[in-house]
Each structure stands twice: as C-alpha cells, then as structure tokens.
Amino acid sequence: MGKDNNIQKYNYSMENAFSDEGFFKGILVICYKEKLLDDNILSKIYYERMELLKVKLKYYTRDESSSVMVEIAENILQCIDYTIGIYLKTFNNIKLITEELKNTSLSHILKMGHDLIKEKILGCKKLLKEINKNKLKVDNYSYNDTIDYGIPLFFKEYNDFFASHESPGSIDYQLYLHIDDIKYVGIEYINKYLETLNLENDFCNNFEISEITKLLKGYDNKCEVLLINIFELVLTNSLGRILCGKDLNSLNISNLDRKQIKNKLKKLSLKELQEELLKNAQICWEVLDIENPSLITYVKKSTFKITSLINESIKLDKLETVFISFNEKNENNIIEYTDGKKMSNSKFKNLSEKIRDCSLVEDKIKLIKNNIKSLEDLVDMLNADCLFENEYIIYFKSLSRMEIILLSKYISENEYEKDLYSKFNKYILSLSKEEQLAISNLKEKIQL
C-alpha cells in the first residue's frame, strides 16, 4: 500500500468529508467504522474528552458550583471538539491523525488547538486591517456596516476558551461565492470570510471608485440599502466591456453594447459560452496586471457562476439585468423601505414563549433574528417581556447600523410604551457622537 496511506483509502476526502465544527467527531466515527483505532483507544479518548469537559466546567463556574445547565455543558463540549479539530486538521492524512490520537493526550491536543486559534485570531485581525486600508469608498450600508462594526464585533465577543465554535458579530454583506455556513464556523468562518472579502476588494480597487459608484446607481438608485455584491457587478460589466472590445477605463455598458454581446453569445452552447467567458476573464486579469493566484482562481470560479446567469438572461432577452448601464438621471435621496410580512397571532405567541424559555440571551437573539421579518413584529416582541434588563442592550449591540436606523425610525413614528423608548434611547446615547449623528442623518432619508 506504500507510505501514502491517506484518507482516500477509506473513500473519504480530507477537504470535504467533515464540517469544521464536526471534524473531530467525524474522524472518530470513521475510526470506529473502519477499525482504524481499537476499542481501548476509543474508550481512552472518550474518557479524556469527559475529563477535559470537567476541567472547562470548573473554569466556567470558577469552581464555585458543582452543576451547570445541560445546554451550557453541551456548548462547552462542542467548543472542546472544535478546538481539537483545529489541531487535527494540520495533518493531511488520516494515518497521521490516528497516530497522533494514539500517542498524544487529548489535553495536549486541545492546548495545541487553542494555540492555533490564538494565532488565527491575530492573523484575522491583521487581515481586517488590510481590508480597512483597501476598503471601497462606496455608499452601501451592508458593506460598510460589516467592515466597520460587524466584523470588529466578532473579535470583541468571540470567546476562544468556552465557545471557539461560535461566530458572533453581525455580517450582513454577502460575498459573491458564498461561504458554506455549515462547513465553516468560529474563527475559521471569519478567516474564510475575510480572505474572500479581501480578494473581492483587491479586484474592485483596479477601477476608479467613481465608476463603481455609477455602476451601483445604474443597478439600483437605492443601492445604499440593498444586499448586493459589489464584486459581482464590477466583474460582470468588466467581462461585458471586453466582449465588446472596449477598455476597462469605464464600467458602463450601453444598449448598443448589449446588442453586440447578445449577437456574439446567443448561438453558443453552455459549454462554449463558459469557454468564451473564461477567455475574456483571462484577458481581464492580464489587462489589470493581476498576478495573485488566489484572486485569479476566485475570478475563474466567479466566471463559472456568471456563465449560468448570462445564459438565462440571453434566453429571456433580459441582458439589461446582467450588464448594467449607468443611470444619468438625477438621484433621489429618499430611501423607501418596505416592511417584511407580519406573523399570525398564534405564530407570534409561540415564538415569544419559546424566546422567554431561553436561558441564554444569545439563543434569544438567534430566535429573534431567524424568525422576525417585520419591524412591527420586532417592536411588539421588544414590548412582550421576552428580554430583560441588560439583555436589551446586548440585543441592540447585535444589530447592524441599518437595522438600528430602521428601528429608530419606526419607534419614533409610532406610539409605544415609554419603557421601550427609554431602553432604546439609552443605547443610542451610549454610542459615539459621530455615530449618533450618522444615524440621525440617515434616518431622515428613510421613508417607511
């Protein structure tokens, strides 16, 4: 069989077989099924794992209590498994992993994993500094809020000792090639997100910001409040310009350009269309002098995704929805907001009871964010004794700036109990003067 006795021998791929959070448990399942570790070793690992949990719980309770809630213990055990998995993933085949599990104590493996998480945190903070340095000067709330507030909130609230598998923060900005939320969690999620965002910024920074701004306005005059991906629009119009034989000093695509693109592409099969767009993508990164292999790979993968979009738009004769023209009309400073669908009374009642039953404010926040889609329901929930004391402030801190603005606008335009006004205003007053001014100015542009 040779020395390369890797995980492929057991029909598994190291890269895709497990989620980041469940890597360690996934390895143990395979080791059990394939008899890679005997029962004595597996029993020893299970015992050591429970001992590690006992130690963590002592730290958690500061050795003042002999009992904790079941969900807290389960959460800390998830943290232990995730941290161990971080270290085990440094080995590139299952043979080395099993040898490590046989010969190294789980407590040492946990320590090595924790050290790696600390290193990753430092690396991610360095990457965030680079992103701030190269940040696009665009008026898009989800983009700016994510970089200015959402990601820094992750580092502020991330608990690498008790909850290394969790991903706090408020990340609203959507990357073009979505990160698999199931596979990536904790510090690995934020690291993957930052790496990808940095690549998208690097590409977009090859263009004048005035061109990007006009492109965003051409897409939608209310682009400030939309959950759009800037890189997608810039790359797509770049490919369109190259298809028309035009330079990349501008990003505008005219009606005549779209007719030319359609005539050039309409008779191509999906495979031929993909080949044509990849050829133009290569011209794009060569013209822009892009040499970063990671960015080139990202552009290639993104072009694959764009191919399907262009193919469908040609069939529907809707190329104007893909290749954007600049909008020369006067800009409208008023931003209209359409509220989400309100819940039925029974659904609202069930949800509010479920929230009240949660012991952890983090779980309450998850339920609220995952289920409530309208401002009216949200304010009703805030008035329904679902949150208590400092939990209100913790919830407000989890909101993006745009969410804060919308909530502020809604509360100020509707009559609600003074208690809610007081709690919300207390949070607003805790913000910096600059942030309060920005919220106030933007609130004036919102039309509910």
Helices (H), 62-104: 70-88, 94-103
pTM score, whole prediction:
0.72
At 132, list the tokens: 């701030």
Helix then strand then coil, in percent of the chain rounded to 5, is 65, 0, 35
How far apart CA 107 and CA 340 sit, in angstroms, is 49
Closest CA to 411 of 391, 433, 428: 428
CB-based contacts of 121: which residues, under 8 Å, 6+ apart? 155, 158, 160, 187
Helices (H), 334-414: 345-357, 361-371, 375-382, 391-397, 401-413
CB-based contact 243:260 (threshold 8 Å) = yes
Other Cβ atoms within 10 Å of 333 Cβ, number? 9
Beta bridge partners of 446: 335
Domain spans of the chain, in order of start: 10-117, 206-332, 336-447
Could you give the count of Cα atoms lying within 13 Å of 395 in the half-sphere of its Cβ?
A: 25
CA distances from 70 to 22, 73, 182, 238, 359 (A): 19, 5, 23, 54, 11
Residue 114's SS3 state is helix
How far apart CA 275 and CA 278 sit, in angstroms, is 5
How far apart CA 237 and CA 342 sit, in angstroms, is 38
Q: Can you give the pLDDT at residue 371?
A: 87
Mean pLDDT by 10 residues, the chain (448 residues): 37 47 85 88 93 92 80 93 94 90 95 97 97 94 93 94 90 85 81 96 95 94 90 97 92 92 93 96 96 97 94 91 80 65 87 88 86 86 84 87 83 66 82 80 72
Q: What is the CA radius of gyration of the chain?
A: 26
Closest CA to 446 of 367, 307, 332: 332
How far apart CA 269 and CA 337 sit, in angstroms, is 41
Beta bridge partners of 447: 336
How far apart CA 145 and CA 224 sit, in angstroms, is 11
